[in-house]
Amino acid sequence: MKPSWIAVDWGTSNLRAWAMGPDGVVLDHAESADGMGKLTHDGFEPALLGLITPWLGAGTTTVIACGMVGSRQGWHEAPYRTVPCTPLDASGLITAPTADPRLHVLLAPGLRQLAPADVMRGEETQIAGALALTPGFDGVLCLPGTHSKWAHVSAGEVVSFQTFMTGEMFALLSEHSVLRHGMQGSGWDDAAFDEALSDTLSRPEKIAARLFSLRAEGLIAGLSPASARSRLSGLLIGIELAGAKPYWLGQPIALIGAEKLAAAYARALKAQGADAHILNATDCTLAGLATLARQPEATR
């Protein structure tokens, strides 16, 4: 059965596609590791065809894609829209150049903020989806990840946002710094996470000194890898929450992210007296892309 359209989430590391039926039903799903980071300019169309060819019929199928695929280093640049504005608008979609006549590929633009300077690509689609799934939501959306985003949304628009390199810092420190020696495995220690989080929120200026203490305590005080990993996570999420406090303090909060990560952020916010509602990240991505498919410009 030929899909009505195809939804694509194309980031730096992964390519995910969904064959969409009428009324937002997902007919099929496929994914590969052909993220933007691995592709040269002319590699995007073959990578997409490699994944979705079984879904294509005789005529033209519309593909709507969000994420780094629309960056300057991606398939084709979809220029940023500037906040304050709605998270997505079909009039901002850019048609990617294609050789295969069966494809009509539209790329969603990201958002930029002029001052303080900030950018997002992909998260705007999740934000649009979150607003579609929770109509009338006014407050703050937190999208934890490699580059965590905090966005203030009001009356259907993104008013302002701020990015934190928390996930990337965790990966660099736990896999590539001297701290990696005491971080093996995947164990977890809630108490160590909570304590590091609370310490960092109350004394953020101590963050740089606290990082090396993970190595020193591993060497001379028997700190376990599980406690070290959890403390590192608590330190980094703690300094993010300290910086993002003007966003979340006293606001309704929704978290969009992978299950375990979103749960860690919810726990951290709870410890600060803030309740957060968790939304599934893939649900938000699909709901966001669907808002574009419903707008007439998307099928021009």
Q: Which residues bind a copy of itself (CB under 8 A)?
A: 80, 112-114, 116-119, 147, 162-166, 168-169, 172-173, 176-179, 204-209, 211-213, 215-217, 219-221, 223, 236, 239-240, 242-245
Nearer to a copy of itself among residue 148 and residue 280 (C-beta): 148
Q: Pick the closest to residue 291 from 185, 133, 172, 160 (CA basis).
A: 133
In the bound complex, what is the minimum distance in angstroms from residue 223's beta carbon to a copy of itself? Answer: 8
In the bound complex, what is the minimum distance in angstroms from residue 25's beta carbon to a copy of itself? Answer: 36
In the bound complex, what is the minimum distance in angstroms from residue 265's beta carbon to a copy of itself? Answer: 14
Crossing angle (nearest 10°) for helices 259-271 and 225-248: 70
Nearer to a copy of itself among residue 105 and residue 140 (C-beta): 140
Q: Pick the closest to residue 24 from 281, 290, 285 (CA basis).
A: 290
Cross-strand pairs, 276: 253
Nearer to a copy of itself among residue 180 and residue 267 (C-beta): 180
Q: Pick the closest to residue 298 from 2, 6, 1, 3 (CA basis).
A: 6
In the bound complex, what is the minimum distance in angstroms from residue 123's beta carbon to a copy of itself? Answer: 13
Count of Cβ atoms closer than 10 Å to residue 53 Cβ = 11
Nearer to a copy of itself among residue 146 and residue 295 (C-beta): 146
Q: Pick the closest to residue 268 from 239, 236, 234 (CA basis).
A: 234
265 within 8 A of 257, measured Cβ to Cβ: yes
Nearer to a copy of itself among residue 62 and residue 113 (C-beta): 113
- Inter-CA distances, 41 with 44, 94, 214, 277, Å: 7, 16, 42, 39
In the bound complex, what is the minimum distance in angstroms from residue 276's beta carbon to a copy of itself? Answer: 19
Nearer to a copy of itself among residue 56 and residue 211 (C-beta): 211
* Length of the chain in terms of residues written: 300
In the bound complex, what is the minimum distance in angstroms from residue 112's beta carbon to a copy of itself? Answer: 5
Nearer to a copy of itself among residue 123 and residue 298 (C-beta): 123
In the bound complex, what is the minimum distance in angstroms from residue 33's beta carbon to a copy of itself? Answer: 19
In the bound complex, what is the minimum distance in angstroms from residue 169's beta carbon to a copy of itself? Answer: 8
Residue position matching structure tokens 């633009």: 109
Nearer to a copy of itself among residue 7 and residue 124 (C-beta): 124
Amino acid at 72: R
